[in-house]
Amino acid sequence: MKKTPAIIIGAVVVVIALVAVVAASSSSNKNDPSTMSEGMSSSSMSDSTSSTSSADAVATDKVMISNYMFTPGDIKVKVGTTVTWTNGDSVKHNVASDDDKMPEGKLIGKDETYTYTFTKAGTYKYHCTPHSYMHGSVTVE
Ligand SMILES: [Cu+2]
- pLDDT tens figures, 32-88: 444 444 444 444 444 444 434 456 899 999 999 999 999 999 999 999 999 999 999
CA 104 to chain centre: 21
Q: Say what the pLDDT of residue 5 is.
A: 56
Helix (H) or strand (E) holding 115: strand 113-117
Residues 47 and 97 in one domain: no
Ligand 1 center–CA 82 separation, angstroms: 21
Q: State the residue range of the domain holding 32.
A: 1-55
89-104 b/e (C-beta count within 10 Å ≥ 16 → b): beebbbbbbeeeebee
Ligand 1 center–CA 122 separation, angstroms: 24
Q: How far apart are CA 125 and CA 102, in angstroms?
A: 9
Ligand 1 center–CA 33 separation, angstroms: 39
Residues 50 and 82 in one domain: no
Q: Which residues pair with 66 in a beta bridge?
A: 69
Residues 75 and 17 in one domain: no
Q: Say what the pLDDT of residue 42 is.
A: 40
Ligand 1 center–CA 66 separation, angstroms: 9
Residues 132 and 80 in one domain: yes
Q: Say what the pLDDT of residue 12 is.
A: 44
Ligand 1 center–CA 28 separation, angstroms: 43
- Residues whose CB is under 5 A from ligand 1 (ion)? 93, 128, 131
Residues 45 and 65 in one domain: no
